Amino acid sequence: MRYNYTDVKKTFKPVDAWWTVAIADPIAGRLTLFLANYTNITPNIVTVFAFTLSFAAAFLFYQATPISLALGTLLFEIGFIFDCVDGKLARLKGLGSKQGEIIDFLFDRLGFFLLLGGLMFGQFRLSDNYEILMWGFFIIFFDNFINFISLYLKIEDKSSVTLSVRNIFGKTKALLNQRRLASFFTTVEVTQLLFFFTPLTTRIQPGFLFASLAYLLLTFYLLVKLKKVL
């Protein structure tokens, strides 16, 4: 069976992170179409490949040189795009399964820890700055907390619950959602800050600080959503 790009677009999430919609999906969609039409590669193979790129990026982050940080950034972004491909490929070819979702989730989590660990311990190795470790573990805690809340909302089929806002804010949210854009930033944008912009600019400590503040805001937002469904 031959697929076309219209078929692939049907596999896109109705609402997704801004970075995913604007940057990743246009590339991931075409990669998905190519893999579906010209290869026998399965979604799980794509998942493992994306994780391998994250592992390599983490190793480069640990080297902590400007060149290795830039190369790590490149590998991270390629891995992120392939991470967007596996789900689309599964939905397109009807290969979605609970096992695949679990594998994807576990590799995503492990990849995140490796990337953050590489960046965090690489900088600590050079500077002996314990603030880097403090912000790093702060990020790990809140990232896991946010993922726990998001997983709970998904299991309870409440992930689509939104905050009722009338007036211009409600209209703005509706307008964004029509364009598949989330009405609030997500962990995707925070990980892009952490593993794309931060190493690319070599401003690691400020990047960790801004990411920590972003996680706090996102945690507050999700707690308000959680309160609404309990």
Topology classification of domain 5-229:
Four Helix Bundle (Hemerythrin (Met), subunit A) (1.20.120)
Tell me the whole-structure pTM to 2 decimals.
0.89
Q: What is the pLDDT of residue 148?
A: 84
Q: What is the mean pLDDT of the chain?
A: 89
Residues 20-38 have pLDDT tens digits of 999 999 999 999 999 999 9
Query: 161: pLDDT confidence band, cut at 50, 70 and 90?
Result: very low
Give the DSSP H or E segment for 185. none
How many angstroms separate the Cα of 123 from the Cα of each of 5, 112, 194, 213, 229? 43, 17, 13, 20, 41
Q: What is the pLDDT of residue 100?
A: 84
Q: What percent of the chain has pLDDT over 70?
A: 91
Domain boundaries, the chain: 5-229
Query: 215: pLDDT confidence band, cut at 50, 70 and 90?
Result: very high
Please check the confidence at residue 129 and state whether its pLDDT lies above 70. Answer: yes
Q: What percent of the chain has pLDDT over 90?
A: 67
